């Protein structure tokens, strides 16, 4: 941001056309054809963002990013980097403070053709699981495999199925599980997920490099600054992966932008009170 060229009007008007072509003209054309009530406002924001990123503003003015993270790749990347930095720091802190190991878990609901309806259903599924987990920790009700997620960073991703016919929103978790605990019972986890979602795709649970490195340090009871850096970078990589710009065609990008209004791309499932400090939850 520091190297902003002078706003030479002649230079700008000649190059702006190229800038728009490069950054967003096909999307703007598509948006103008759409029936979104605020399509002209959106196209203005996208143009201003492209112009700002290319040329900067006169000194004293504020950055002019569009923050349209389902439409603008540059803003999607900036968003992913910012969130990854914030939450990799937080997750590493929780791992060290409470001796927790991160797993990468993916829950896949059934693919359908109505994205708006599906996102409502995914929210319901997540709320059901979260409520059961909360009831267990607060009121001692039945244990579910999701109670092994002592803390979870939850990220929603929207894709098309491979044949491009159906929408496939799915949920990634970085789930923190106590080092001393048994890991997940995959068969119980699959049964619980099927009961909530009616999906035949079982949860996918993957160890993480961050977790493997952390276990190694715990055995030797020491964690160096260098090792913290390695774990931090792996957490950052995972979060950025889950928040990557969605690989969709232009018309699908517009559908997702519209459908995701009011839906959080990420949220946290906080640590329960019974396990030390209570961490605020952003839902
Ligand atoms: Zn932008």
Q: What is the pLDDT of residues 14-27, one digit of tens each?
A: 444 444 444 577 88
pLDDT at 138: 86
Q: How far is the CA of 139 from the centre of ligand 1 (A)?
A: 45
CA–centroid distance, residue 194 to ligand 1 (Å) = 38
> 81 is written with which tokens?
């980097």
What are the contacts of 161-167 at 24+ separation with CB within 8 A? 161/111, 165/113, 166/111, 166/112, 166/113, 167/111, 167/112, 167/113, 167/114, 167/115, 167/118
How far, in Å, is the centroid of ligand 1 from the Cα of 74?
6
pLDDT at 19: 46
| Confidence band of 137 (pLDDT split at 50, 70, 90) | confident
In the predicted structure, residue 282 carries a pLDDT above the cut 60: no
The pLDDT of residue 3 is: 39
Mean pLDDT of the 236-243 span: 94
Which of the two residues, 219 and 131, has the higher pLDDT score?
131
Give me the pLDDT at residue 10, please.
Answer: 36
Cα(120) to centroid of ligand 1, in Å?
27
Token pair, residue 118, equals: 């599906």
- pLDDT beyond 60 at 265: yes
* Radius of gyration in angstroms for the set of CA atoms belonging to the chain, rounded to a whole number: 22
Average pLDDT, the chain: 85
Is residue 12 over pLDDT 50?
A: no
- What is the percent of the chain with per-residue pLDDT over 90, rounded to a whole number? 57
Query: Rounded to the nearest whole angstrom, what is the distance from the C-alpha of residue 187 to the centroid of ligand 1?
Result: 43
Contact 7, 58 (CB under 8 A): yes
CA dihedral 231, 236, 241, 243 (to 10 degrees): 150
Please, which residues bridge with residue 101 across strands? 177
| Predicted local distance difference test score (pLDDT) of residue 57 | 67
Instruction: Report CA(71)–ligand 1 centroid distance (Å).
Output: 8
Place of tokens 């791992």: 95
Give this prediction's pTM: 0.84
Centre of ligand 1 from the C-alpha of residue 161, in Å: 27
Mean pLDDT of 86-98: 94
Dihedral sign, Cα of residue 225, residue 228, residue 234, residue 236:
negative
Q: How confident is the model at residue 280 (pLDDT cuts 50, 70, 90)?
A: very low
For the cut 60, the answer to whether the pLDDT of residue 278 exceeds it is no
Structure tokens at 192: 């619980």
pLDDT at 235 over 70: yes
| Distance (Å) from CA 51 to ligand 1 centroid | 10
Alpha-carbon span 131 to 50, nearest angstrom: 43
| Ligand 1: centre distance to CA 182 (Å) | 44
55 Cα: distance to centroid of ligand 1 (angstroms):
14
Residue 227 has pLDDT above 90, yes or no: yes
- For residue 3, the CA-to-ligand 1 centroid distance in Å is 18
Distance 73 CA to ligand 1 centre (A): 7
**Cα 104 to Cα 94: distance, rounded to the nearest angstrom:** 16
Cα distance between residue 200 and residue 186, in whole Å: 14
Instruction: Identify the pLDDT of residue 184.
Output: 85
**156 pLDDT above the threshold of 80:** yes
DSSP-based three-state secondary structure for 204: strand
pLDDT band per the 50, 70, 90 thresholds, residue 61: confident
CA distances (Å), 244 to each of 81, 83, 159, 239, in order?
9, 11, 11, 8
> Measured in angstroms, how far is the CA atom of residue 39 from the centroid of ligand 1?
15
- In angstroms, what is the span from residue 64 Cα to ligand 1's centroid? 8
Q: Ligand 1 center to residue 254 CA distance, Å?
A: 14
**How remote is the CA of residue 77 from the centroid of ligand 1, in Å?**
9
Q: How confident is the model at residue 218 (pLDDT cuts 50, 70, 90)?
A: confident
Span from the CA of 251 to the centroid of ligand 1 (angstroms): 17
Residue 155: predicted pLDDT: 96
């Amino acid at each position: 941001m520091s190297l902003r060229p002078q706003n030479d009007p002649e230079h700008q008007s000649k190059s702006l056309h190229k800038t728009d072509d490069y950054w967003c003209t096909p999307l703007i054309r598509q948006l103008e054809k759409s029936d979104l009530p605020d399509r002209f406002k959106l196209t203005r924001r996208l143009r201003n963002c492209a112009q700002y990123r290319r040329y900067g503003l006169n000194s004293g003015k504020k950055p002019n990013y569009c923050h349209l993270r389902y439409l603008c790749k540059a803003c999607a990347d900036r968003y992913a980097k910012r969130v990854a930095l914030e939450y990799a720091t937080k997750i590493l802190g929780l791992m060290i403070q409470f001796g927790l190991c991160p797993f990468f878990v993916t829950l896949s609901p059934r693919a359908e053709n109505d994205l708006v309806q599906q996102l409502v259903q995914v929210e319901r599924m997540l709320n059901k699981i979260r409520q059961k987990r909360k009831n267990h920790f607060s009121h001692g009700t039945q244990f579910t495999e999701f109670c092994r997620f002592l803390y979870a960073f939850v990220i929603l991703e929207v894709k098309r199925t491979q044949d491009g016919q159906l929408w496939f929103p799915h949920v990634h978790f970085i789930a923190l599980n106590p080092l001393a605990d048994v890991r997940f019972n995959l068969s119980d986890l699959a049964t619980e997920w099927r009961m909530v979602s009616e999906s035949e795709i079982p949860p996918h649970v993957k160890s993480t490099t961050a977790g493997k490195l952390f276990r190694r340090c715990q055995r030797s009871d020491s964690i160096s600054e260098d090792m913290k850096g390695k774990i931090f970078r792996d957490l950052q990589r995972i979060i950025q992966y889950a928040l990557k710009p969605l690989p969709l065609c232009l018309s699908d990008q517009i559908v997702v932008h519209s459908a995701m209004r009011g839906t959080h791309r990420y949220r946290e499932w906080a640590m329960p009170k019974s396990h030390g400090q209570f961490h605020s939850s952003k839902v």
